[in-house]
Amino acid sequence: MPWLTKWHALWNRHLSRQLDDELQSHVHLRAEALIGEGWSRADAYEEARKLFGNLTLTTERTREVHVSATLETILQDIQYAFRRLRRQPIFTLSAMLTLGLVIGANGAIFSVLEAVLLRPLPYPKPAQLVALTGSNHLHQQTGIAVPDLEDWSGAKSLAEVAAIMSQSVNLTGRDEPTRVIGQFVSATLFPMLRAKPVLGRVFRTGEDRTGAARVCVLSFGIWQSRFGGDAAIIGRSLRLNDQPYVVIGVMPRDFQAALFAADVWLPINAYPNYSRDRRNMSVMAIGRLAGGTSIAQARAELATITGRLAAQYPDTDRDRAAVITPLKDTFLGNLRSTLWLLASASG
């Protein structure tokens, strides 16, 4: 391997120069010390050179002791390894493929872990965000009745609460009819997530109530793919589920509301199963904890509220409970243990 031999020679020359300079410095310092004691300059330098002996020989020995032997051993090992690998091409190829697969698997798994487990949710103060669901007498997860959720919203431990449900909707009236993912939300959702549109505005207070004008907000993706990124989309009427809706805003490219992906956001009152009957537990919700409030405190306060509702509405709310969990845990579900298991296996 000529390039290794050449590099080795260059390194030796560089090291020899360094060592020679250092020895010459020691000779000079010793000679100056002797001159200070009264020696003549010529005699002082001659004595100093005698003290250090043959500088060339000393430099060579020092270089060998310093790193040369180790470097030569490494180079010999590399050369030997390459010769062995050339003699066993099948083994060499298998080793390279194995290393490639292992490195690739570990890189992929770490990327997933970083994105799913380690990276915080893409919202301001994500630790304050929680998911809200209901629970029945069998401790099974249920939806929440809209009036019950309004009562839960009065909890001091919750600064903000928003109903949120997902269901596909028909987009008609432009080109071919298309099924898109709709998300039906309270007007409080976007302010809770501190989300601002790139065009237009988001829902105003009251636009999520029965009798309000039909308005919608588009995702960046569908605005680009379906409407060509036309800035004049604001104020245009679309037909969603065979009803006219006016586009009031477009969200940023990287925005995704919690719990579900969506192409278009509509007011919660437009949700097909929306009802103000306490027997209809049709929605889920997310909330933001008040500053300085723990989940344990929120759970205790919601337990008090659901207990009061059970006494006030025994026919519908008896044996109901509120379930509150960190929003990130809701995203992960049972994936946390699975991902760590995959990471251990790939490691």
Distance of alpha carbon 280 from alpha carbon 263, whole angstroms? 26
Distance of alpha carbon 165 from alpha carbon 186, whole angstroms? 10
Other CB atoms closer than 10 Å to residue 63's CB: what's the count?
17
Q: What is the per-residue pLDDT for 295?
A: 94
Distance of alpha carbon 105 from alpha carbon 112, whole angstroms? 11
* Annotated domain spans of the chain: 2-87, 126-331
Please tell me whether the overall predicted TM-score, pTM, comes out greater than 0.85 for this model.
Answer: no
Q: What is the per-residue pLDDT for 100?
A: 78
The full DSSP string for 78-89 is: HHHHHHHHHH-H
Where do the DSSP E strands lie in 136-279? 141-142, 144-145, 158-172, 178-185, 199-200, 215-218, 237-240, 243-250, 264-267
Residues in the chain: 347
Say which amino acid occupies 208.
Answer: D
Distance of alpha carbon 52 from alpha carbon 64, whole angstroms? 18
User: What sign has the CA pseudo-torsion 24, 26, 27, 31?
Assistant: positive
Q: What is the per-residue pLDDT for 45?
A: 74
Distance of alpha carbon 163 from alpha carbon 149, whole angstroms? 8
Distance of alpha carbon 263 from alpha carbon 223, whole angstroms? 9
**Where is 319: in which H helix or E strand?**
none
Residue position matching structure tokens 């010390």: 33
Tens digit of pLDDT per residue, the chain (347 long)?
555 555 555 556 655 666 666 667 766 777 777 787 777 878 777 776 766 666 555 555 555 555 555 666 777 778 877 787 778 788 778 877 888 777 777 777 666 655 555 566 778 898 899 999 999 988 898 999 999 999 999 999 999 999 999 899 999 876 678 899 999 999 999 999 999 999 999 999 999 998 899 999 999 999 999 899 999 999 999 999 989 999 999 999 888 776 667 999 999 999 988 899 999 998 999 999 999 999 999 999 999 999 999 999 999 999 999 999 998 877 655 555 666 666 666 66
Using the CB atoms, write b or e for 98-123: b if 16+ within 10 Å: eeeeeeeeeeebeeeeeeeeeeebeb
